[in-house]
Chains A and B, each alone.
Chain A
Amino acid sequence: MPTTRQILIDPVTRIEGHAKISIHLDDNGEVREARFHVTEFRGFERFCEGRPFWEMPGITARICGICPVSHLLASAKAGDALLSVTIPPAAEKLRRLMNLGQIVQSHALSFFHLSAPDLLLGFDSDPAKRNVFGLMAADPTLARAGIRLRQFGQDIIAVLGGSKIHPAWAVPGGVRSAPTAAQRAEIAQRLPEARATVLDVLRRFKVLLDTHHDEVATFGNFPSLFLGLVGPHGEWEHYDGRLRVVDSGGAIVVDQVDPSRYRDIIAEAVEPWSYLKMPYYRARGYPAGMYRVGPLARLNICTRIGTLLADAELGEMRQRAGGIATSSFYYHYARLVEILAALERISLLLDDPDLDSPRLRAEAGVNQFEGIGVSEAPRGTLFHHYTVDAYGMIQSVNLIIATGHNNLAMNRTVAQIARHYVKGDRISEGALNRVEAGIRAYDPCLSCSTHAAGMMPLVVTLVAADGAVLDEVRR
Chain B
Amino acid sequence: MGKPLNSCLVLGSGFSQFSDAPMLAHRLLIIGYGNDLRGDDAAGRAAAERLAALPMPDTQVLSVHQLMPEHAALLAQAHMAIFIDADSSGCQVVRVTHLTPAATWSAIDHASAPEGLLALAAAVYGRSPNGWLIHIPAIYCDLGAPLSPQAEDGVTEAVEIVRHLIASCR
Contacts and interface: CB of A to CB of B under 8 A. Distances in A.
A162 interface: yes
Contacts of A140: 124
A158 B14 contact: yes
A133 B123 contact: yes
B17 interface: yes
Interface in B113-146: 119-120, 123-124, 138, 141, 143-144
A61 B18 CA distance: 22
B70 A452 contact: no
A62 B65 CA distance: 8
Contacts of A454: 88-89, 111
Contact of B109 (A14, A133, A161): A14
A164 B111 CA distance: 20
A85 interface: no
A136 B69 contact: no
B12 A452 contact: no
Nearest to A12: B109
B41 A451 contact: yes
Contact of A144 (B106, B124, B138, B143): B124
B123 to A, nearest CB: 4
Interface string B58-90: 000000111011101100000000000110110
B109 A16 contact: yes
A158 B13 contact: yes
A450 interface: yes
A136 B105 contact: no
Q: Is the interface of A mostly helix, strand, loop or mixed?
A: helix
Interface in B1-30: 11-15, 17-18, 20
A204 to B, nearest CB: 19
B54 interface: no
B49 interface: no
A44 B103 CA distance: 35
Given A18-B111, A450-B38, A165 B65 contact: yes
A165 B72 CA distance: 16
A447 to B, nearest CB: 9
Contacts of A17: 109-110
B150 interface: no
A102 interface: no
A150 B120 CA distance: 15
A449 interface: yes
A459 interface: no
A452 B119 CA distance: 24
B144 A47 contact: yes
A151 B105 contact: no
A59 B105 contact: no
A183 B12 contact: no
Interface residues of A, number: 52
Q: Is the interface of B mostly helix, strand, loop or mixed?
A: loop
Nearest to B111: A451
Contact of A44 (B18, B20, B104, B143): B143
A322 interface: no
B86 A452 contact: yes
Contacts of A117: 105
A366 B104 CA distance: 50
A313 interface: no
A159 B15 contact: yes
B100 interface: no
Max chain A Cβ within 10 angstroms of own Cβ: one of B12, B36, B89, B119? B12
Contact of B14 (A143, A144, A183): A183
A147 B70 CA distance: 7
A321 B150 CA distance: 57
A332 interface: no
A65 B65 contact: yes
Interface in B136-169: 138, 141, 143-144
B108 A14 contact: yes
A114 interface: yes
19 contacts: A14-B108, A16-B110, A17-B109, A62-B37, A132-B120, A147-B124, A154-B18, A154-B70, A159-B14, A164-B12, A165-B11, A165-B65, A449-B37, A450-B34, A450-B41, A451-B88, A452-B38, A452-B41, A452-B141
Given A131-B105, A448-B65, A451-B110, 11 more contacts: A13-B106, A47-B143, A59-B37, A62-B36, A65-B68, A117-B105, A132-B120, A147-B70, A158-B13, A448-B35, A452-B88
